[in-house]
Structure 1
Amino acid sequence: MSSYYFGKVEELEKAHRESSLVEKLFRVRNMFSTLFSIYSRKSLKALIRKSVTLLEFYTNERLINHGNALHCHLIKMGLSSQKYIAVKLLIMYLDSRKSFEIDQMLKEFNGFNLVVQNCLITANLQWGKVIDACRLFDEMPERNEVSWTSLISGLLKHGNVNEAMVYFERNPFSNVFTWTATINGLVQNRLSFQAMRLCKKMLQSGVLPNDITFTTIIRTCVELSDLGLGKSVLGLIVKAGFENNVCVSNSLVTLFLRLGEIDSARKTFDRMEEKDVVSWTTILDMYVEMGDLREARRMFDEMPERNEVTWSAIIARFSQSGNAEEAVKLFQQMVRHSFKPNVSCYSSVISALATLEALQAGMNIHAHILKIGMEINVFVGSSLIDLYCKCGNTKDGRLVFDEIPEKNVVCWNSMVSGYGFNAQLEKATELFNQIPHKNNISWNSLIAGHLGIENFNEALQVFDEMILSGEQPNKSTFSSILKTCASLASLERGKYAHTKALKLGFQHDIFVGTALVDMYAKSGSIESSRKIFKRMPTKNEVVWTAMIQGLAENGFAEESLRLFEEMEKKSSIAPNELILLFMASGDERHYTSVVDMLSRSGRLFEAEEFIKSMPLEPEANAWAALLSGCKTFGNETLAGRVAEKLSGIVETKPGGYVLLSNIYASEGRWKDVMSTRNLMNQKGIKKSGGCSWIELRNQVHLFYSQDETHTQSNEIYWVLQLFNSEIQSHLN
């Protein structure tokens, strides 16, 4: 038996040679060796204590085979029926749902045992068998405080709030543990007001809170966003003598951070006599959320002691905040300092490499992960899928996906998103249809894929299917769909999406609001765009840009300029390149209009001088307007100069080739037309086909010249022929 056991340990050590489990296994081997020496010295108490510790380890690490081996050894020694060992064996088998072994262990207890019954109640609650747990509890001839607390907290975890509160009122053991478990359960069910009322009732009953109670109460204040209440709780904490408790202080730091009290958070952190990993990670998060990555890094460097958890935390924060290069550098330092990355760390650094599109570095880490057997982990696997797909290698991304034995929805979404990112929508749709349990991210991935290649109708169709499936859209969904509606200038569909967003309470979200401003402006409903913009509680440079652009494109140039000036005066936002580009393009249109006006009235030389005096580069349309005037008024000399200028512009602006070709054609200069068209062919320049569309019953129908792709094209052309015949008959 002992050789079997040590053989299993060696196999597990070999498979996970470089993982954190190795250190634990070495400790287990030493402990198991100690069992023999202890037994030889007949030290029964020490033997039992070591056996209990081993069984707890096997239960926590889910090493049921090792637990079985130890159980057999304990049977041989006659210790399997010993009370503490038997209970630990039962818990191990309950945790692993080994029904045969559970039945055998229950026979060991020979009838009712309070501890065993409590274990069975807890197990049934973990398995989701709430009715069985209540039945076991009600049938117990006697109950202790563990019985009551386990049942009440278990019911609350399953959302059975009313039933839990009935048992709470019947509970004869009014102690801090039951009160705290119940308050915590109410917070988990987002019943913060009820939780605070129960806190008050607990204090009135004379039960003093402990550190866990205070931590729970502070979390309630965070949920309620009530800083005043939090400060009142702080007074209770000081009065009860818990102000130096690490867990309580960490919760206070989190409270102040969530409610925007940055100075209070930092002062609380600085006053802490003892700081743990959570303390440092929380304050690091503060600086990351503020965008002050330099200070976050300085705080990390000041930490008196770092472990795998703190390294993983800082790498994850830098990766998530978009500072991928720094995340990779930190990972390299971590390895150089001989710290062993955990699952979270590998996932974060792979995500950073995906952002950088650093395929070779990612492949090197993938090779290392294969050696230690971690590639089957769903989080590491999802990050690897993302890496390969963002580097354009969906084939290897799919290989990683297929190798993951137990896929969760994150894995499925990563692969669907990867196909969409690489414009492989057929594969994305095929895989999407195979997802066993879709969430809104699954739908969003497919919608984004269609939007990325301008499959606007398909994106709307997926959105409709999402609504019909009962899946609730999130902010990202509406941002994508509203962009789609803006691209199609589909006002009715945009209004429908707006209504859904209002019902779900997303109207104040800055991303949804920006998409609404853009959609209404591009659909010609500038008044609706203005209203959305004015109602937005906070505005960033993107929404200002959308509104300024919308006004300019709808002919409200002066208002667009005023809004630009208002942004500079009233907000702290500096004009970015995009805003300046829109402002400049709006000015170009004004100059072109003046040129067109002068050219139409025959003031050709004045128009030419006006173009030359423009403070910015004239657009092709300005020269085209002047050339058209030259043709109208027969000024061939000026027309030659203008045509030469226009030809120079189109070298850098391919769309101008078509414009120049049309002007030559209108003047009958067919050799120049052919020369321009040949030049376009040589450069591989193609003019995008003109497109018309009509929206009917919330569906957009697209039409191109000579297009026969519409499902009802035969009927449409038949009707057009009928109209044409009617027109001809009336003309004749």
Structure 2
Amino acid sequence: MRSALKTLFAINPGNSFKAYIETSVSLLKDFSKQGLFTHGSVLHAHLIKMGISSENYIAIKLLIMYLNSRKSAETDQILKEFNGFNLVVHNCLIAANVDWGNLDGARQLFDEMPHKNEVSWTALISGLLKHGRVEEAMWYFERTPFQNVFISTAGISGLVKNGLTFEAIKVFLKMLQSGVMPNDITFTSVVRACAEFGDIGLGMSVLGLIVKVGFEHNLSVSNSLITFSIRFGEIDLARRIFNQMENRDVVSWTAILDMYVEMGDLREARRVFDEMPERNEVSWSAMIARYSQSGHAEEAVKLFHHMVQDGFRPNTSCFSSTISALASLEALQSGKNIHGHVAKIGIERDVFVGSSLIDLYCKCGKTEDGHVVFDSILEKNVVCWNSMVSGYSLNGQLEEAKELFDQIPKKNNISWNSMIAGYLENEQSDKVFEVFNEMLLSGETPSESTFSSVLCACASIASVQKGKNLHGKVIKLGIQYDTFVDTALTDMYAKCGDIESSKRVFNRMPTKNEISWTAMIQGLAENGFAEESLTLFEEMEKTSSVAPNELIFLAVLFACSHCGLVDKGLWYFNSMEKVYGVRPMNRHYTCVADMLSRSGRLLEAEKFITTMPYQPEINAWAALLSGCKTHTNERIAERTARKLSELSEKKSGGYVMMSNIYASAGRWIDVLSTRKLMKEKGVKKSGGCSWVEVRNHLHLFYSQDETHSESADIYGILELLKSEMLIL
């Protein structure tokens, strides 16, 4: 700017007055835009010295500069240089008062004008609309003597910004009827109005007019058309408009990027993102958020680091997504580093950033730190309450979770689901039903996720009656065709032994995923229909697009084990990686060990366990020991028992099974020795547990248990029954 002033000072007004005036006007315009009022004052002093500060063009630019800087003394001095009424000056004063928010002053100036031009009317109408004074604005709009594109566009765009899209469309149609041709700003506003009003037919008509008038290659119009197309799911149209654009800016690229992000097409979104010649905070945040939400946490964190390295400042949304990604990775130290940064820039207490931080600390087992963040959030919403409840539930701190849950000012569906899921995860089925009943009494409608969790609780205690009641509620709410609900129902009926109901639910499912197939295959196998289970697996391969996964193969191997199809089971096991590309995990090896042991191939089972590529699970040795008991092989049983006792010194299963094997063989001294060893090592056999459900309440009983509140009456009835049986 200093060099620009030197250039001006070097011009001789006597030789080139026009060039001097043009340079002065241009400089004043730039100083005003960039807020360089000190430079402007220097130039003003020079113009006074040269005796040309009162030139009309110069004086107007000086006035605008001082109005923008709110320099009242200088403004008043400039105004004195204008004799009588000046239309341009009044228009400048109206625009300035609108910018300052002094709308009453702007109206007074407008009303006092002896005559007005279209700029006067446009300035006042757009100013009133900008500040939400719609009624006043439209009063002036309806009385303007000018019917041109500028005033009409001011009315349309102002109405759209105030959410009055129907009124904006009416003004647009009236404009067309009066013969006024729209410009690019008009079309941009009208397309936005059609999108927000939800009128695709009118929007397509406007598109036709845009092409007819020749604005289809205009940058802002094309951007609005892309947004319109995406809003109505016209993906191909959005792509076509984008591809035909002669020029694209960051808004165009971000709009098409958002389209792929919303579609969940991460690969195509990344391709667009990588091709973008220019990115902004919105485009970076969109990609980071989608990676975080789609389970690609590492990529989300990597992108965040690239964003910072490229000099962009992450917004709250970006920080929230990145912290969520770090929570998924349980990367506590990296999360703490970002926590320190957000605290430094003052957004630590933002409710969304805070909720993500709570999630991070709780997933890393630091619930105390999570609660510190929770307490620091000044205006808590239901999201942060839910995050803290989920955090406590995740860490098994159910008392703290319930206490906090009861304090939530306004619970939503996620609040209830968080509490239900916590009890389910910690195998407290009775509490699951308690919270679910509270939820119903509160008037909250259970979601598909709620039913899935509660049905899992029914399955865990084999309560078919509760499950049927829930099934009735599912039908009443009209969500009986939801894949996740139907999968939970299939699993619940199967685990309760009602395989026919399980099959009925499964067969009427409109869409089945891998979990649905797994539930049915596993359910059939567990209920003794192993061959039917394998037939269903073969049907899945032929008729569905679902590829067998680890869980499905586990169900298949279980079925083969329980129906004695050892060779077929071994073929499936050996085909997992070679044919299906699924690497067998420890559980699959355990299942094969159980299959060989059940069929009496004990030496083969023992060799299989000892040559596994993983550290064998305790259950693998337990399966072999059980096979030794069934097929009476004391030698392998002793070796297996020793191995089992090494792996689980404090667990009674192996000792009890070995004791039973000795008892079956009549080796009573060894039985006594085994029990003595259990006593010496402090190993106790846990008592068998049974339960009965009476009037929706679950009652648990252990052997010789007297803890039940009505135990005296229960044992009294048992004695009565015993005496009746003896009489009979």
Check whether TM > 0.5: yes
Deviations 1:102-148 (A, max 9, x none): xxx799969999999999999899xxxxxxx9xxx6xx89934599x
Matched pairs, number: 611
Of the structure 1 ranges 672-681 and 689-698, higher mean CA displacement relative to structure 2 is found in 672-681
Describe the SS at the equivalent of 1:591: coil
CA 1:285/1:143 → structure 2, altered by over 3 Å: closer, same or farther? closer
Which position in structure 2 is the counterpart of 1:721? 716
Which position in structure 1 is the counterpart of 2:555? 582
Once residues 73 and 435 of structure 2 are traced to their aligned partners in structure 1, the CA distance between those partners, rounded to angstroms, is 57
Which position in structure 2 is the counterpart of 1:379? 352
Once residues 327 and 494 of structure 1 are traced to their aligned partners in structure 2, the CA distance between those partners, rounded to angstroms, is 40
Offset of residue 354 of structure 1: 0.9
Matched ranges for 1:701-712 at <5 A:
701-707=699-705
Of 458, 465, 484, the residue aligned with 1:492 is 465
* Greater relative CO, 1 or 2 (CA 8 Å, sep 6+): 1
Deviations 1:309-350 (A, max 9, x none): 222222122111111111111111112222221212111111
Once residues 392 and 459 of structure 1 are traced to their aligned partners in structure 2, the CA distance between those partners, rounded to angstroms, is 23
Offset of residue 565 of structure 1: 0.4
Which position in structure 1 is the counterpart of 2:726? 731
Which position in structure 2 is the counterpart of 1:254? 230
Which position in structure 2 is the counterpart of 1:448? 421
Of 650, 658, 662, the residue aligned with 1:660 is 658
1:28–1:54: 8 Å Cα contact kept in structure 2?
A: no
Matched ranges for 1:447-596 at <5 A:
447-591=420-564
Once residues 351 and 203 of structure 1 are traced to their aligned partners in structure 2, the CA distance between those partners, rounded to angstroms, is 51
Which position in structure 1 is the counterpart of 2:330? 357
Offset of residue 728 of structure 1: 2.4
CA 1:417/1:184 → structure 2, altered by over 3 Å: closer, same or farther? farther
Once residues 667 and 74 of structure 2 are traced to their aligned partners in structure 1, the CA distance between those partners, rounded to angstroms, is 101
Offset of residue 552 of structure 1: 1.3
Letter in 2 for 1:210: F
Of 179, 187, 197, the residue aligned with 1:210 is 187
Letter in 2 for 1:719: I
Deviations 1:212-269 (A, max 9, x none): 4434545777x9xx9x99988866664565544333442365258x47x6x6654443
Which position in structure 1 is the counterpart of 2:294? 321
**C-alpha RMSD of the superposition:** 5.3
Once residues 44 and 692 of structure 2 are traced to their aligned partners in structure 1, the CA distance between those partners, rounded to angstroms, is 87
Matched ranges for 1:85-234 at <5 A:
85-90=96-101, 143-144=139-140, 210-215=187-192, 217=194
2:534–2:559: 8 Å Cα contact kept in structure 1?
A: no
Of 305, 308, 317, the residue aligned with 1:332 is 305
Letter in 1 for 2:658: L
CA 1:185/1:492 → structure 2, altered by over 3 Å: closer, same or farther? farther
Offset of residue 430 of structure 1: 1.7
Once residues 176 and 125 of structure 2 are traced to their aligned partners in structure 1, the CA distance between those partners, rounded to angstroms, is 31
CA 1:696/1:459 → structure 2, altered by over 3 Å: closer, same or farther? same
Which position in structure 2 is the counterpart of 1:9? none
1:627–1:643: 8 Å Cα contact kept in structure 2?
A: no
1:249–1:269: 8 Å Cα contact kept in structure 2?
A: no
Which position in structure 1 is the counterpart of 2:588? none
Offset of residue 185 of structure 1: 6.0
1:693–1:703: 8 Å Cα contact kept in structure 2?
A: yes
CA 1:421/1:506 → structure 2, altered by over 3 Å: closer, same or farther? same
Which position in structure 1 is the counterpart of 2:407? 434
Letter in 2 for 1:715: E
CA 1:567/1:729 → structure 2, altered by over 3 Å: closer, same or farther? closer
CA 1:411/1:680 → structure 2, altered by over 3 Å: closer, same or farther? farther
Which position in structure 2 is the counterpart of 1:345? 318
Offset of residue 403 of structure 1: 1.5
CA 1:214/1:119 → structure 2, altered by over 3 Å: closer, same or farther? closer
Deviations 1:617-662 (A, max 9, x none): 79856864664565xxxxxxx5445555566578779644433333
CA 1:589/1:272 → structure 2, altered by over 3 Å: closer, same or farther? same
Q: Find out whether 1:298 has 2:271 as its counterpart.
A: yes
Once residues 532 and 380 of structure 1 are traced to their aligned partners in structure 2, the CA distance between those partners, rounded to angstroms, is 42
Once residues 102 and 482 of structure 2 are traced to their aligned partners in structure 1, the CA distance between those partners, rounded to angstroms, is 47
CA 1:216/1:90 → structure 2, altered by over 3 Å: closer, same or farther? closer
Letter in 1 for 2:191: F
Describe the SS at the equivalent of 2:700: strand
Matched ranges for 1:654-693 at <5 A:
655-665=653-663, 667=665, 669=667, 671-673=669-671, 676=674, 689-693=687-691
CA 1:232/1:491 → structure 2, altered by over 3 Å: closer, same or farther? farther
Describe the SS at the equivalent of 2:339: helix
Once residues 666 and 607 of structure 1 are traced to their aligned partners in structure 2, the CA distance between those partners, rounded to angstroms, is 18
Once residues 636 and 269 of structure 2 are traced to their aligned partners in structure 1, the CA distance between those partners, rounded to angstroms, is 61
Which position in structure 2 is the counterpart of 1:391? 364
2:499–2:523: 8 Å Cα contact kept in structure 1?
A: yes
Provide the TM-score with structure 1 as the length reference: 0.68
